A and B are shown apart, each in its own frame.
Chain A
Amino acid sequence: MSTAAALPWKDRKRYLWIISAVLPALPLLSLALWSMTRNDLSLWLTLLVVYGVIPVLDLVLGEDRSNPPEEAVPALEADPWYRWLVYAAVPLVYLTVIVGTVFAMTAELGLLGYLGLALSVGWIGGAGINIGHELGHKKGLFDRTMARLSLAASGYGHFQIEHVRGHHRDVATPEDSASSRLGESYYRFITREIPGGFSRAWRLESERLARQGKGPWTPGNEILQPALVTVLLYGGLTLWLGWQALPFLLLQAAFAYTLLSAANYVEHYGLLRDKVGEGRYERPQPRHSWNSNHIVSNLVLYQLERHSDHHAHPTRSYQALRHFEDAPQLPTGYFGMFLVALFPPLWRRVMDPRVLAHARGDLSRINIDPASADRYQNGHRPVAA
């Protein structure tokens, strides 16, 4: 201990966060590969990485539960290096959307290549939402503007309001459209989460503008501002490249939407905050979010998977997020869990026993999907994984 105290703490991940910053350029690599090989399969490189390489690396390299010492956190939070690594990713998201769309419209691609490219660009739109998420929690106008720009690349500009003012307030309650419920499949969750998020954002922003004495259709509307960026981006590319660009852009954006849904789906499945009064819930604690300390997927996502600390302390920066022993732990990182979520019976087999164990079998402390409540209440216990 004495030798450890003598050495100042060093962040071993300081330079590894570059991985999160360059991820949005991954489809550009596959475009280079296609140009050399003319093989449509090369446009599936991004999907191979996110659904193949990263889940396997998570299983092989496992977790890192170490935390920065509290005395190092103020300097870690103030270090501009970490912030710039997030800013730097925003232009890369735009570059990938623009170059990817131009490529899809001009290169001679088969259906396989077209689909691979659309999903790859959509993945980067999803990464852009993650970037917008990190920046959207910061207090400065520059950070929040960059956040909305990053979100606008996939047409998700309303996320900032929806997430910070809606989801964080209501997380792990039945009222939250972005908290999945025990028994709710990923597919059913999507149909509740996407419209629910949009209507909550619109309601919150309308209320704010109403307090200013304005209606919702005003230039000050912070949902319409990024929406205008999306219209200019997609409209500009369509005018430039022809109408065929629009379905490509909408396809990749739709895929980006489902990726955010996947993240929301795995982050709070079944977890429930206690009521402490009429319409009031206890403050969000680490136990109200599923956490993952898996090394590789965290390095790709600006440590988004340390989600328990994030919800307990939403303005804490990614590089300073902590592991908590009392937080429920996902069996693997998000990328692997996204794959599991695609197969609802498998998902229930993996996650339901964990939800029940976390709630110590007390169904009243679980956020249960009303439509599947019977399955759990009739004494049936899901089989252990």
Chain B
Amino acid sequence: MTRWRCPECGYRYDEIAGDLHEGFAPGMKLCGLPTDWTCPDCGIIPAREFVPDADGRNPEADKR
């Protein structure tokens, strides 16, 4: 599993791409993210609570 999703707001974290704005280099595993780091979009979901993001799934569908 390399693609993860914030269950609250749909932000996606892809381990292959990383997140350069957040300072996570390509290849950075989700479990390697800082423990006090939260989703950059909603701010409330820590990385350990991210859910697997199946390819082709529309994250907006889960937006509440």
Contacts and interface: CB of A to CB of B under 8 A. Distances in A.
B22 A168 contact: no
Nearest to B20: A212
B49 to A, nearest CB: 8
A311 to B, nearest CB: 8
Interface residues of A, number: 22
Contacts of B42: 137, 164, 168, 313-315
Interface in A161-178: 164-169
Interface string B5-41: 0001101000000001111100000000010101011
The 5 closest A-B pairs by CB, nearest first: A211-B23, A168-B43, A212-B23, A315-B9, A164-B43
A358 interface: no
A319 to B, nearest CB: 15
A315 B23 contact: no
Interface string A252-288: 0000000000000000000000000000000110000
A169 B22 contact: no
Contacts of A315: 8-9, 41-42, 63
Contacts of B40: 164-165
A207 B38 CA distance: 13
27 contacts: A137-B42, A139-B11, A139-B41, A164-B40, A164-B41, A164-B42, A164-B43, A165-B38, A166-B43, A168-B42, A168-B43, A168-B44, A169-B38, A207-B34, A208-B21, A208-B22, A208-B23, A209-B23, A210-B23, A212-B23, A284-B44, A313-B8, A314-B44, A315-B8, A315-B42, A315-B63, A316-B64
Contacts of B43: 164-169, 314
Nearest to B28: A211
A-side interface mostly = helix
Interface of B: 8-9, 11, 20-24, 34, 36, 38, 40-45, 63-64
Contacts, number: 51
Contacts of B21: 208
Contacts of B44: 168-169, 283-284, 311, 314
A15 to B, nearest CB: 26
Nearest to A210: B23
A168 B46 CA distance: 12
Among B20, B21, B36, B42: residue with most chain A CB under 10 A: B42
Interface string A283-298: 1100000000000000
Contacts of A311: 44
A313 B34 CA distance: 23
B11 to A, nearest CB: 8
A300 to B, nearest CB: 25
B46 to A, nearest CB: 8
Contacts of B63: 315
Interface string A136-152: 01010000000000000
Nearest to B22: A208
A342 to B, nearest CB: 30
Given A169-B36, A211-B22, A314-B43, 18 more contacts: A137-B42, A164-B40, A164-B42, A165-B43, A166-B43, A169-B43, A207-B34, A208-B23, A209-B23, A212-B20, A213-B23, A283-B45, A284-B44, A313-B64, A314-B9, A315-B42, A315-B63, A316-B64
Contacts of A139: 11, 41
A229 to B, nearest CB: 20
A137 to B, nearest CB: 8
Contacts of B64: 313, 316
Nearest to A213: B23
Contacts of B36: 169
Nearest to A314: B42
B18 to A, nearest CB: 10
A304 to B, nearest CB: 16
A137 B11 CA distance: 13
B2 to A, nearest CB: 19
Contacts of B24: 211
Contacts of A207: 34
Nearest to B45: A283
A295 to B, nearest CB: 25
